[in-house]
Amino acid sequence: MDLTVRPMTEDDLAEAWALGRWAFGGPAEAPPRALQVLPETHRWGAYDAGGRLVGKVTDHEERSWWGGRQVPSAHVSGVAVAPEVRGGGVARRLLTTALAAARDRGAAVSALYPTVSAAYRSLGYSVTGLLGSAVLDTAALPVLRAPEGVVLRAGTPADRPAVVDLYEQIARGFDGPLTRRGGRWELPPRDEQPLGDGVDLLTLAEQDGVVTGALAYERGRGYDASAGLDVSDLLATTPAAARALVDVLAGWRTVTRTVDVPVLLGDAVSAVLPLERATARGTHVFMHRLVDVERAVAARGWPAHVRGSVRFSVVDDAAPWNSGSWQLELDAGEGRLTRTTEDADLVLGPQGLALLWTGAGRGHGAATAGLVTGPGDPAGLDLLACGQAPQLVDYF
Average pLDDT, the chain: 95
What percentage of the chain has pLDDT greater than the value 70? 99
3-state secondary structure the chain: CCCEEEECCHHHHHHHHHHHHHHHCCCCCCCHHHHCCCCCEEEEEEECCCCCEEEEEEEEEEEEEECCEEEEEEEEEEEEECHHHCCCCHHHHHHHHHHHHHHHHCCCEEEECCCCHHHHHCCCCEEEEECCEEEEEHHHCCCCCCCCCEEEEECCHHHHHHHHHHHHHHHCCCCCCECCCCHHHHCCCCCCCCCCCCCCEEEEEEECCEEEEEEEEECCCCCCCCCEEEEEEEEECCHHHHHHHHHHHHCCCCCCCEEEEECCCCCCCCCCCCHHHCCEECCCEEEEEECCHHHHHHHCCCCCCCCEEEEEEECCCCCHHHCEEEEEEEECCEEEEEECCCCCCCEECHHHHHHHHCCCCCHHHHHHCCCEECCCCHHHHHHCCCCCCCCCCCCC
284 close to 131: Cβ distance less than 8 angstroms:
yes
Model confidence at 65, pLDDT cuts 50, 70, 90, reads very high
Q: Which ranges in the chain are annotated with CATH 3.30.1050.10?
A: 291-383
Measured distance CA(179)–CA(109) in Å, rounded = 14
Measured distance CA(223)–CA(237) in Å, rounded = 32
Burial 28-48 (b: 16+ CB within 10 A, else e): eebeeebeeeeeebbbbbbbb
- Domain 291-383 = CATH 3.30.70.560: no
Mean pLDDT computed over 25-49: 93
Measured distance CA(364)–CA(347) in Å, rounded = 13
The predicted structure's pLDDT at residue 133: 86
What percentage of the chain has pLDDT greater than the value 90? 91
Q: Write the pLDDT tens digit of every residue in 136-183.
A: 999 999 988 778 899 999 999 999 999 999 999 999 999 999 999 999
Using alpha carbons only, how large is the chain's radius of gyration in Å? Answer: 22
Amino acid identity of 173? G
Model confidence at 132, pLDDT cuts 50, 70, 90, reads confident
Mean pLDDT computed over 330-348: 96
The predicted structure's pLDDT at residue 152: 97
234 close to 269: Cβ distance less than 8 angstroms:
yes
Model confidence at 84, pLDDT cuts 50, 70, 90, reads very high
Q: In this predicted structure, which of 12-16, 42-46, 225-229, 295-299 has the lowest mean pLDDT? A: 225-229
Q: Does residue 26 carry a pLDDT above 90?
A: no
Q: Does residue 273 carry a pLDDT above 90?
A: yes
The predicted structure's pLDDT at residue 1: 77
The hierarchical CATH code for the domain 133-281 is 3.40.630.30
Measured distance CA(336)–CA(328) in Å, rounded = 6
Q: What architecture is the 4-107 domain classified under in CATH?
A: 3-Layer(aba) Sandwich (3.40)
Q: Which ranges in the chain are annotated with CATH 3.40.630.30?
A: 4-107, 133-281
